[in-house]
Amino acid sequence: MWVQAAGLFLTAATREFGWWILGSVLLGLGTAMVYPSLIAAVSDASHPAWRARSLSVYRFWRDLGYAIAFRGGSHC
């Protein structure tokens, strides 16, 4: 998450394309490290018989949050 935070900060703090690209790469790398951990945590906390449903519920609420945040930000 620190790598994601650094990428977000760098992307927001710069006006130069090269630094923006570096920030975007850091954000992508950080996200690639975090997402498998989140899915593993949900899987580990779920009974094997409910694992698929638990992951579905997790992803539904996560993606709904993205959709709401994106829609809310588009009015700015």
Distance between CA atoms of residues 34 and 31, nearest Å: 5
**Overall domain count for the chain:** 1
Under the phi-then-psi rule, with left for phi > 0, alpha for psi from -120 to 50, and beta for the rest, what region is 55? alpha
Q: What's the pLDDT tens digit per position in 21-59?
A: 999 999 999 999 998 998 899 999 999 999 999 999 999
Per-residue pLDDT band for 66 (boundaries 50, 70, 90) equals confident
Domain span holding position 14: 2-73
**Whole-structure pTM over 0.75, yes or no?**
no
Of the CA atoms within 13 Å of residue 53, those in its CB half-sphere come to 5
Q: What is the pLDDT of residue 31?
A: 92
3-class secondary structure, 3: helix
